[in-house]
Amino acid sequence: MIIDELVLPVLMVLMTLVAGVYLVAVIDRWLAGAFGLPQGGSAWLGPLRRGAWLLTQHANATEAPDWQAWRLAPALYLALAAMGLAVVPWSATLVATDLTTSVVLWGSVEALATVVIFLHGWSANALFALIGAYRYVALGLSYILISMFVLIGVALPAESLQFTQVVTSQTEMWNVVRQPLGLPLFLIVGLGMTFWGPLNLADADDLAGGTASEVSGPPRLVWDVARAAMLVAFSGVAASAFLGGWLGPWLPGPLWMLIKMLAVLVVLLLLGWLLPRVAPERCMTLMWVVLLPLSFVDLLWAGIAALLNG
């Protein structure tokens, strides 16, 4: 019985990560083809071919890197994605780790991700990688603050920092309706934290790949998988916090959760292709001057609604 309680949650998280990472790669390649970029093969087989090719490539080495940190950073980023996904509930009883402070744990994942991303760029002992790391740190605090205000807003009507209670509080009305600013702001945090699409400033092309500019072979595969895994974890948290999680008619709760996570993933990837890339200095202004005050407005809105309902 104890073994089942330990093994089943781990297997559930691992299966979700594997399937989610593969779907991210497939959807992203399909969208690239839809926007006119040739992909050279099937969207379903292309990610598998690239993964197999990276596994056979030589891992690059720079001059005097911090080897342990450089090789460990991608694995740590992947582990953080798994930790975040572990607190996402699939039903009232089906959740890998049903912590009473699961919202706080997710905030810790976001904060530690900033450290790991910086470590990935700093430990390579290369110019472009270090600049990419500092770029992310400059913006990472704004991502964390925006996410914090937004998630406190969804915790107020639930009167709990537990994601299962947050989902239960949306029985009559989803938070995406109750707090219309919350989900768009959280999606921007997701793009920023995974440096995806227009907010890919840490691994940007103008830095020849940024923190990953000197990474090749299996470490590059782990880094790419970790970024996609964090996107999957974000979709799970967004579906739980704003779209009612497992709640829905007719279908089983876990299936509703899967549908909502997939919908959030598609929206995130589509935004990555549709939105123009933002220059680093303008992104800084956008985060601190526009989006952070909006997140505070969202929190104030949620607080007033909670008081009136109370």
At position 108, the amino acid (one-letter code) is S
Q: Rounded CA gap, 155 and 242, in Å?
A: 11
pLDDT at residue 4, rounded to an integer? 54
φ/ψ region of 104 (left if φ > 0, alpha if ψ in -120 to 50, else beta) reads alpha
Give the model's pLDDT for residue 13: 84
Rg over CA atoms, the chain: 19
pLDDT at position 36 is: 74
Helix (H, G, I), strand (E, B) or coil at 47: helix
Supply angle C-alpha 214, 209, 25, rounded to 5.
105
Q: What is the pLDDT of residue 108?
A: 92
How far is 97 from 87, CA to CA, in rounded Å?
5
Inter-CA distances, 78 with 75, 226, 301, Å: 5, 4, 34
Domains identified in the chain, total number: 1
Q: Which of 278, 111, 275, 108 lies closest to 187, judged by CA?
A: 275
For residue 35, the model assigns a pLDDT of: 77
Domain enclosing residue 23, as ranges: 2-309
Give the 3-state secondary structure of residue 279: coil
* pLDDT value at residue 40: 64
Q: State the amino acid at position 128 in one-letter form.
A: F
Q: What string of pLDDT tens digits covers the 310 residues of the chain?
A: 545 556 777 788 888 899 999 999 999 989 888 877 776 667 788 888 888 999 898 888 888 888 899 999 999 999 999 999 999 998 888 888 888 899 999 999 999 999 999 999 999 999 999 999 999 998 888 899 999 999 999 999 888 899 999 999 988 889 999 889 999 999 999 998 888 888 888 888 888 888 998 998 899 999 999 999 999 999 999 999 999 888 888 888 889 999 999 999 999 999 988 888 888 888 888 899 999 999 999 999 888 888 887 6
Q: Which residue has the tokens 């979709």?
A: 235
pLDDT of residue 73: 93
Residue 83 and residue 22: Cα distance in Å, rounded? 19
**Burial class of residue 249 in the structure, from the number of CB atoms within 10 Å of its CB (0-12 exposed, 13-18 middle, 19+ buried):** exposed
Q: Is the pTM of this model over 0.85?
A: yes
Cα–Cα distance measured from residue 186 to residue 259, given in angstroms and rounded to the nearest whole number:
18
Supply the pLDDT for residue 234: 94
How far is it, in rounded angstroms, from Cα 71 to Cα 122? 12
What is the rounded CA–CA span in Å between residue 154 and residue 161? 9
Residue 186 contacts residue 242 (beta carbons within 8 Å): yes
